[in-house]
Structure 1
Amino acid sequence: MSVTSLRRAARETVSGLPREFWWLWTSTLVNRLGAFVATFMALYLTLDRGYSASYAGLVASLHGLGGVVSSLGGGVMADRLGRRPTLLVAQASTAVFVALLGFVHDPVAIAAVAFLVGMASNASRPAVQAMMADIVRPEDRVRAFSLNYWAINLGFAVSSMAAGFIAEFSYLAGFLIEAGMTMACAVVVFLKLPESRPAGDAQGGGKGGAEASVGLTAVLRDRRFMGVVGLSFLVALVFQQGSVGLPVAMGRAGFTPADYGVAIAVNGILIVALQIPVTRFIEHRDAKRLLVVSSLLAGYGFGLTAFAGSVGVFALTVCVWTLGEMINAPTQTGLVVRLSPVHGRGRYQGVYSLSWSLAALVAPLMSGAVIDRLGARWLWGMCAAVGMVAAVGYGALMRRLPKEEPVAFAEGAVGAGAAAGERSSEVSTA
């Protein structure tokens, strides 16, 4: 492919999206540039504090439990209070709790603050995804979700490399840097992002309104959607091992935090380099096949980790499951939007986020116990098995998907022209 073709492909990938999307994208990027806790918590507890892998798994699970609590609450808040207030509260609270985590030393206090960090940080996820669905046209959503995911991993590629060396100097500095960057995200939201909630939600869901028809009970009774949530949990359980099982296993094998940082940075670097062309390849392809393939790549990618004995081989296994991640993330997020009624997006995204939060709760307990009692090879074999089960599940569950509904926005809300396709072709450079 020529340079001209590459430039044209890049231009077509980023064109036509609203200005508000790019501010939300910027907030995501800034947040991930400062990421530290989720990536290096296991190393901090086992290497710096001297705790066991099981204790590190317990703390990470409490972090996940906080996410379980806030996933549903964040979704309800996004529908009732609005996307913007939910983001502001979640990001400001996360900054405070992350900073506090760097100063507590008692084991019980560490566990309690980790729970609060998990609760605050995960509360923003349903609001981000619902706002993105609100302000972007249906035909552009897979592209928009891919670009947002690209921002996450651009920040992750930079922060994971830097954090590995920061950890060798001072874990406290890492906590404070993340707190500062997260507060910067809250400032971006406050200054640049108006509310995007659709008209029915903005009216408060009066008697017989749309909001009443998509309460949490209605979401939980949606069998097709809950099947997708269950399969998402299995895939998330595998992907979680990149930040939970992998650092512990590498540490047990004698590798340093910097070694882990180099290996896991491959994940972010590959996504930064390949997410845009991969998105162009998958954008109009069958979602069922994409999800089956991505599940197999995730499971077998982690399964191959059982044979890794050097940083280079660990990095090669990361390449395999990263390809599955690049396919899975935008495809699955776009599928959730397609299955969600317009006035229940916050709740649907909250329940979908719950699958990842539950995985964040279960994965550390599972990985810590398996590594301590059976060894890391058993963990990687289990990942391969779970990936295969998820692939079979997607193949059995997916049928014809419903058409997306047009959106009616509140007067003056962001993206009021989305349903009519009124979008400027100019891209904000902010």
Structure 2
Amino acid sequence: MSAPARPTDGEPRFRDTLRRLPATVWIVSLGVLVNRIGNFLPVFMVLYLTGRGFSPAAAGLVLGAAGLGNVAGNTVGGYLADRIGRRWTIVASMAAAAGLTAAVPFLASLPALVALAGLAGAAAQLYRPAAAALLVDATGSDQQRLAAFAVHRFAMNIGAALGGVLGGVLATVSYVGLFLGNAAACLLFGLIALVLLRDVPVTGAPEGHDPAGTRAGYREALADRRLRRFLLMTLLAEFIYIQSTVGLPLHVEAAGLTPADFGLLMGLNGVLVVLLELPITSAVSRRRPERVLALGNLLTGAGLALTGWAGDMGWLAATVLLWTLGEMLYAAMAGAYLGGLAPPAMGGRYQGLYGAAITLGTGVGPLLGGAVYAYRDWALWAVCAVGGLWSAQLCLPRRRRTT
């Protein structure tokens, strides 16, 4: 991958850039915060279904359908964002997700629940490419774009933390209230988008890009070699990162530790991300983005690979620190970097493919990771090490052949 130009010394400090972000960035981030606070469905669906008498296998089937819907939703959402606009894509996504989510507790048959989960998973993801493309549209410089994605990430992390707590409270009272609360959060985000958001006119193109006509589609997007490398890197990075929810708990159990210990390790990850991601993004904002992405992938792969050699809470906490640092270096920078690659007429499609790669990596990761761990536990940690190296290499520009 080749990168946008490195920020110059004449650009404002990152904190000043944050203060001067356009209102669009804050409105999108507010909507995402609200949506994430109310996003209970993925977390509590298994408990809800098993509590209703469905088997774990049936619950897994429903979650699998939702995962496939997530991939489809991102690709369709990217198309809609470029065709009907960012704002209306977000509104349509949230309205559809609200209706489908609210219907979940009123269905009894497994086939109906599988179908509804797939549709709800797709509807809930339609907005993501549109929201990301809108952040790109509203910002100018590389540093401003990075600041916008950092704020967006911060809102997502805060919302996820609050949503887990609120969802747990609602689940103890009523699962119907849980799903209706999720639907209400979707409607509120849709209302915020409808009333406060406006699409930003996109004029011109980043240097080095041809602002192709609106006929361009996913075939044209995938003709971009840099995008293909980025998507492969994303698949690898997400596959590795999701092992924190697969290999790590299995290793914690094998080491004789308790589920509460695993909860503490994941809590450490959450606290670090909320407290330190913005400062770390600020610290690397003037670095070459491809090098930051490469370092982030290396640290994530190394941290998870070393999990297999950590036998107590102290060493496990050290590995969590390592892969969390990689996550913080990578997450906001990746979305901002991609925004610099996309031609203006295809911003939604580029972000849609990115979202599909994320959801595919996090969806397939638990299945493959669990199978590899069951074969040989050390093999999973070796895969994390190799995957970290490979994904880091994909971040760096290809060397030109000399004759």
- TM-score, normalization: structure 2? 0.81
Report the equivalent of 1:329.
331
- For the structure 1 residues 110 and 241, does the alpha-carbon distance in structure 2 shift closer, same or farther, using more than 3 Å as the test? farther
Query: Within the alignment, does 1:184 sit opposite 2:188 as a pair?
Result: yes
Number of positions where the alignment pairs a residue of Structure 1 with one of Structure 2: 384
1:26 deviates by 0.6
Residues 1:395 and 2:396 aligned together: yes
Counterpart position of 2:119:
116
Alpha-carbon distance change, 88 to 284 in structure 1, aligned in 2, over 3 angstroms: same
Picking from 236, 239, 244, the partner of 1:237 is 239
Cα 1:134–1:183 change in 2 (3 A) is same
Structure 2: how far apart are the matches of 1:42 and 1:379? 25
Q: Which residue of 2 is the match for residue 38 of structure 1?
A: 42
List per-residue Cα deviations over 1:304-356 (Å, max 9, x = no partner). 44456777776654433221111111221122111111121111111222211
> How far 1:131 moved relative to its partner?
0.6
Q: In 2 relative to 1, CA 261–110 (structure 1 residues): closer, same or farther, beyond 3 Å?
A: farther
Partner amino acid, structure 2, of 1:385: V
2: CA distance, partners of 1:340 / 1:197 = 15
Matched with 1:80 is: 83
- The 1:212/1:398 distance shift into structure 2, 3 A limit, reads farther
Alpha-carbon distance in 2 for matches of 1:326, 1:286: 16
Distance 1:169 1:259, change over 3 A: farther
Given that 2:58 and 2:110 are in contact with CA atoms closer than 8 Å, whether structure 1 keeps it comes out as: no
Letter in 1 for 2:213: E
What's the offset of the Cα at 1:114?
2.4
Other-structure match for 1:356: 358
What is the correspondence of 1:80-159 to structure 2 with a 5 Å cutoff? Answer: 80-139=83-142, 140-159=144-163
Q: Structure 1 CA distance, aligned partners of 2:18 and 2:325?
A: 21
Alignment of 1:269-288 (within 5 A): 269-288=271-290
Structure 1 residues 370, 44: CA separation in 2 closer, same or farther (over 3 Å shift)? farther
The Cα of 1:134 is off from its aligned counterpart by: 0.8
Q: CA deviation at 1:63?
A: 2.0
Distance 1:216 1:191 in 2: 31
Matched-pair contact (CA < 8 Å) for 1:58–1:365? no
Q: For structure 1, which runs of at least 5 residues remain unmatched after alignment? A: 1-7, 202-208, 400-430
* Secondary structure of the structure 1 residue equivalent to 2:199: coil
Structure 1 position 115, deviation (Å): 1.5
Shift of 1:143: 0.9
Give how far 1:102 is off: 4.0
Q: Kindly tell me: are residues 223 and 10 of structure 1, through their superposed partners in 2, closer, same or farther at Cα, counting changes over 3 Å?
A: closer
Aligned-partner residue type, residue 101 of structure 1: V
Q: 1:193 to 1:70 in 2, by over 3 A?
A: same
8 Å Cα contact 1:154/1:269 also seen in 2: no
> For structure 1, which segment, 94-103 or 252-261, has the greater mean C-alpha deviation from structure 2 after superposition?
252-261
Q: Give SS of 1:285's match.
A: coil
Contact 2:14 / 2:147 at 8 angstroms: preserved in 1?
no
User: Which residue in 2 is equivalent to 1:384?
Assistant: 385
Change (3 A) 1:171 1:324: farther
CA shift for structure 1 position 28: 1.1
Q: 1:36, CA displacement in angstroms?
A: 2.2
Q: CA deviation at 1:276?
A: 1.8
Equivalent residues of 1:64, 1:115 under 8 A apart: yes
Find the aligned partners of 1:257 and 1:100 in 2 and give their Cα distance: 33
The answer to whether residue 335 in structure 2 is matched with residue 301 in structure 1 is no
1:193 to 193, 197, 205: 197
Rounded to whole Å, the distance in 2 between the matches of 1:381 and 1:163 is 36
Distance 1:293 1:238 in 2: 14
The code of the aligned residue for 1:195 comes to: D
Separation of aligned partners in 1, 2:251 and 2:108: 24
Match of 1:290 among 289, 292, 302: 292
The one-letter amino acid of 1:324's match is G
What secondary structure is seen at the aligned counterpart in 1 of 2:286?
coil
Distance in structure 2 (CA, Å) of the matches to 1:314 and 1:242: 11
Secondary structure, aligned partner of 1:91: helix
Amino acid at match of 2:395: Y
Instruction: Report the TM-score, using the length of structure 1 for normalisation.
Output: 0.77
**Which residue identity does 1:75 align to in structure 2?**
G
Structure-2 change in CA distance of 1:20 and 1:396 (3 Å): closer
CA contact (8 A) 2:94 2:127 kept: yes
* CA separation of 1:220 and 1:295: change in aligned 2, threshold 3 A: same
Cα distance, 1:248–1:67 mapped onto 2, change above 3 Å: farther
Q: Aligned to 1:349, what secondary structure does the other structure show?
A: helix
Post-superposition offset of 1:237: 1.6
- Report the alpha carbon displacement of residue 261 of structure 1 after superposing the two structures with TM: 5.4
